[in-house]
Structure 1
Amino acid sequence: MKLNPAQLAKHLQGALSPVYVVSGDEHLLCQEACDAIRAATRQQGFSERQVFNADPSFDWGSLLQAGASLSLFADKRLLELRVPSGKPGDKGTAALLHYLARPAEDTVLLISLPKLDGSTQKTKWAKALIDGADAVFLQIWPVETTQLPQWIRQRLAQAGLAASAAAVELIAARVEGNLLAAAQEIEKLKLLASAGQVDVDTVQAAVADSARFDVFGLIDAALNGEASHALRMLEGLRGEGVETAVILWALAREVRLLASLAQQYSQGVPLEKAFSQARPPVWDKRRPLVSKALQRHSAARWQQLLMDAQRIDAQIKGQAIGDPWISLSRLSLMIAGQRLALPAE
């Protein structure tokens, strides 16, 4: 059974389904949907939780065994199955179909998947999850650029805040579609807003009052060639619990801009013109910093760094081997134009 994410909260107030499937590539929204399901299971007495990560070496028999075994500690259980590749393979297909044919009693199975493409949705296992009588399927769609201001307004309202149209637009311009970053901005605004009102000055103050190790400060250090300082800031961000996805978004956005500018410059386009035509345009005060970074690498090298960022994205999603924190350190150093000895991944 398909369920619209907006209907989830009401659905979870009633009897829970044996199986829930959350599918999508928007990390924040998928995480929040899963959190809501977890909270509902706790409220309804599902006090035991087991998590299974279906990596290439995963034993699918362990899922079936968990479903068939009796709990030693609780009457009701939550089983979580995470399939980062979105492709369970032959053994996984057999295991899922076997489980869905007779879901375990007093058990909720929560399955996390990336966005399923058209061909995958036609497979036997995906059809069973999407159309099965015992499964609730939630497709999480990304927030489009045109929808982002309204999404920000709703999140502000949930936080007890009201914002002017200009303030909302400023937040949207800063986060550029990254919902994790938007959520962090709203958390900061909760501390700064006076009487729950957010205007442009409040948003600008939030930017000025960013944490000591700010993501955008990391970018500036890397662009300026301050390799050691960039590493210190990255470690600070890690210590403050900033998500790797937020840091990668900021670095990848800058690398994508630099790759585009370097390509245009190699084709004879003057830098000032390229700066003006960039979307969003490069501000006057940032042009010296960006120009300095452009001198370090060729257009081809910037493209390679963009590919490195894509690999880190796969690591964060569990689709590639490697520690994303180490890879983020390397990417920061490359942007800064230096290579330092780092432990092997």
Structure 2
Amino acid sequence: MKIKAEQLAQQLKKQLLPVYLLHGDEPLLIQECADHVRRACKAQGFGDRDIIHVENNFTGEELYASNQSISLFADRKIIELRMPTGKPGTAGSKALVDYVANPSPDNVLLIICGKIESASQRSKWFKTVEAAGASVQLWPINARDLPRWIEQRLRALGMQANPDAIELLADRVEGNLLAASQEIHKLQLYAEQETITVETVMAAVADSARYNIFGLIDSCLEGDTLSALKMLQGLKSEGNQVFAILPLFTRELRNLYACAQQIGDGHGIDRVLQNQRIWDSRKRITKIALQKLSLSRITRLIQLANDIDQSAKGMSKANSWDLLEQLITLMTGRELAIAL
């Protein structure tokens, strides 16, 4: 069945389904919904978790093995299938259909995807999973609704803000919900039980870290390799973690990939940027990036981002900071042999 994000918590209280499919292009909302499922499972005795990363050569063998294996630490477990592309492939699709046909009562399958296109939502695996459990599609928050979303977040944390302050905060984060969430939590240090005003937001902005992730991404899009690498070192020295930085790069690369695909199909760049909901203030640097990054280069960057994700989670011996430095160098349009 299809349910909305705001219905998920209530559904989990009523019944724990054998499979949950979360898909969309909003990392923060995906993360929060996944946390809802994990907490509900934990409350019902699912004390272990297997994580499976779906790549191009996914055959489903890991899913079969995880479903049949007995955990050493708990009687029940979550099988977490992370599939950024939303495309399991032929063998993977069959594995998902087979799993849903005979799910283990001791397991809950949590499938986490990026954006799944309409055509893929009509596929057999998607329909089968949705019929057996629940699918939640996380829609982007558009510019018109973002102020209301921010206000709701502030209220949930016991804060209130005047309309001008909310508008300023919405302009600052430019539609990035993860950035908005970070800014809202930062405002807790300044609010002191008072209504948040424009002055409060400005004070928080003035006290921001010297090196910030958004400035780093902008430097990458503009092709400023030296500035980008310098910002990366600054973020590292300030104690930031790779797994906190990477999601914003992944989001940006997916947008660039979608834009490059449409441009390759013959669509004008201005229409493409509009279709992808690129904010007016970011259209200039996005155009710069698309002029220097080919579709194959962007694909290579997405693959590298996946390598960084696995490294940051301890699934490979590679140094995640070194890999992130390589990603930034390539994203600015340089080659590693020249820049490093």
TM-score range, shorter chain: 0.7 to 0.9
Does the 8 Å contact 1:311/1:320 carry over to 2? no
Does the 8 Å contact 2:164/2:197 carry over to 1? yes
| Counterpart-to-counterpart distance in 2, 1:22 and 1:281 | 28
| Counterpart-to-counterpart distance in 2, 1:137 and 1:224 | 38
With over 3 angstroms needed to count, the CA separation of the structure-2 counterparts of 1:21 and 1:280, relative to structure 1, is: closer
Please provide the CA RMSD for this pair: 3.7
The structure 1 segments of at least 4 consecutive aligned residues displaced by more than 6 Å after TM superposition are 219-226, 248-253, 299-302, 306-309, 319-322
Aligned to 1:173: 171
Tell me, what secondary structure is at the counterpart of 1:162? coil
Shifted more, 232-241 versus 83-92: the winner is 232-241
Instruction: Return the letter of the residue paired with 1:89.
Output: G
Does the 8 Å contact 1:231/1:332 carry over to 2? no
| Counterpart-to-counterpart distance in 1, 2:83 and 2:220 | 34
| Counterpart-to-counterpart distance in 1, 2:173 and 2:298 | 19
TM-score (norm 1): 0.74
Tell me, what secondary structure is at the counterpart of 1:240? coil
Aligned to 2:248: 246
Instruction: Return the letter of the residue paired with 1:314.
Output: I
TM-score (norm 2): 0.75
Residue 149 of structure 1: how far off its partner (Å): 0.5
- Superposed CA deviations along residues 9-67 of structure 1, whole A, max 9, x for unmatched, are 11222331111110111111111111111111112211011001111233412211221
| Counterpart-to-counterpart distance in 2, 1:145 and 1:309 | 30
Aligned to 1:143: 141
Does the 8 Å contact 2:151/2:166 carry over to 1? yes
Q: Bigger radius of gyration, 1 or 2?
A: 1
Aligned to 1:161: 159
Instruction: Return the letter of the residue paired with 1:10.
Output: Q
Shifted more, 163-172 versus 194-203: the winner is 194-203
Residue 214 of structure 1: how far off its partner (Å): 2.4
Does the 8 Å contact 1:170/1:200 carry over to 2? yes
With over 3 angstroms needed to count, the CA separation of the structure-2 counterparts of 1:187 and 1:332, relative to structure 1, is: farther
Tell me, what secondary structure is at the counterpart of 2:86? coil
Does the 8 Å contact 1:84/1:319 carry over to 2? no
Tell me, what secondary structure is at the counterpart of 1:80? strand
Does the 8 Å contact 1:252/1:309 carry over to 2? no
Does the 8 Å contact 1:60/1:91 carry over to 2? yes
With over 3 angstroms needed to count, the CA separation of the structure-2 counterparts of 1:55 and 1:20, relative to structure 1, is: same
Q: Unpaired segments of 5 or more residues in structure 1? A: 254-277, 283-289, 294-298
| Counterpart-to-counterpart distance in 1, 2:70 and 2:254 | 47
For 1:289-304, what aligned pairs fall within 5 Å after superposition? 303-304=291-292
| Counterpart-to-counterpart distance in 2, 1:139 and 1:326 | 33
| Counterpart-to-counterpart distance in 1, 2:63 and 2:250 | 33
For 1:7-156, what aligned pairs fall within 5 Å after superposition? 7-130=7-130, 132=131, 134-156=132-154
Q: Unpaired segments of 5 or more residues in structure 2? A: 256-278, 310-319
Tell me, what secondary structure is at the counterpart of 1:145? coil
Residue 82 of structure 1: how far off its partner (Å): 1.3
| Counterpart-to-counterpart distance in 2, 1:126 and 1:28 | 23
Aligned to 1:268: none
| Counterpart-to-counterpart distance in 2, 1:41 and 1:301 | 42
Does the 8 Å contact 2:250/2:305 carry over to 1? no
Tell me, what secondary structure is at the counterpart of 1:47? strand
Choose the corresponding residue for 1:210, options 208, 211, 217.
208
Does the 8 Å contact 1:245/1:316 carry over to 2? no
With over 3 angstroms needed to count, the CA separation of the structure-2 counterparts of 1:280 and 1:43, relative to structure 1, is: same
Aligned to 2:191: 193
Does the 8 Å contact 1:166/1:200 carry over to 2? yes
Instruction: Return the letter of the residue paired with 1:194.
Output: E
| Counterpart-to-counterpart distance in 2, 1:319 and 1:81 | 16
With over 3 angstroms needed to count, the CA separation of the structure-2 counterparts of 1:164 and 1:312, relative to structure 1, is: farther
- Superposed CA deviations along residues 127-163 of structure 1, whole A, max 9, x for unmatched, are 1122x1x311111111111111101111111222111
